[in-house]
Homo-oligomer: A and B are copies of this chain.
């Protein structure tokens, strides 16, 4: 115990997906003040080039640093894949991404070392999960697959029934029986966990990287609880007008965000 510490947990994502990470953080660390930035003007990152993603990530981090951070979470797989190292090297606070916690959770769960990982085209093409899994699980056989339709399905709220089951079957049906662990390498995918579990069956453990990342943050802050009592501050910023943000955000966060402010980063 090093005594109570001031400062907020900052979380950024290209849009709403990172709210699954924030939701997991709120459940695990309810006393910590948080500040979220969804870069909704420039979403999605998954189809953009590494240089562009690094540039956007730097502006997001710079904006959040103005809000008295004690720790920054890069709650976007694409931004983690391309920009985490740069941000860790440049910023004055600890920076945690979503890739390594997911890979370590997979290492703890697998018995056969045959692992699947799914994400956006950008995340999968970056090879970040493949590298992290190879490092966390020596001798792992990794099947990596881009599933571009799962993000719009989650945002549309079509998470149950025939459509998500058929889409997941088409993406992942052939992996049934050939892997024992699947890493959900996109912050949107926890919303489709049931459809994915239905298709892959109970023999395949699913790693929710939002949960794994929240656990990594808890580890990093252990012994240094938030200062002050009462309800902690929870601020939400977006870079484009928040028109549909509250409605979509509620699906990810479990409730409508208290207030959403538009900013130019």
State the A residues within 8 Å of B (CB).
Answer: 40-44, 47-49, 52, 121, 125, 148-149, 151-153, 155-156, 158, 162-163, 166-167, 170, 240-241, 243-244
Contacts and interface: CB of A to CB of B under 8 A. Distances in A.
Given A162-B166, A163-B170, A49 B149 contact: no
A49 B264 CA distance: 13
Given A149-B156, A152-B152, A163-B170, A240 B52 contact: yes
Contacts of A167: 163
11 contacts: A47-B240, A47-B244, A48-B240, A49-B243, A52-B240, A148-B156, A149-B156, A149-B158, A151-B152, A152-B152, A163-B163
Contact of A166 (B44, B48, B49, B163): B163
A224 to B, nearest CB: 38
A251 to B, nearest CB: 13
Given A48-B240, A121-B244, 4 more contacts: A42-B42, A44-B44, A49-B241, A125-B243
Contacts of A49: 240-241, 243
Contacts of A244: 47, 121
A238 to B, nearest CB: 10
A73 to B, nearest CB: 23
A149 B152 contact: yes
A243 B146 CA distance: 15
A162 to B, nearest CB: 6
Residue from A47, A121, A155, A162 whose CB has the most chain B CB atoms within 10 Å: A47
A167 B43 CA distance: 24
A189 to B, nearest CB: 15
Contact of A48 (B41, B52, B121, B170): B41
A27 B6 CA distance: 65
Contacts of A151: 152
A92 B255 CA distance: 50
Complex A-B, nearest 5 residue pairs according to Cβ-Cβ distance, in ascending order: A49-B241, A152-B152, A149-B152, A163-B166, A48-B240
Given A40-B47, A240-B48, A240-B49, A155 B148 contact: yes
Given A52-B240, A149-B158, A156-B148, A47 B43 contact: yes
Nearest to A51: B241
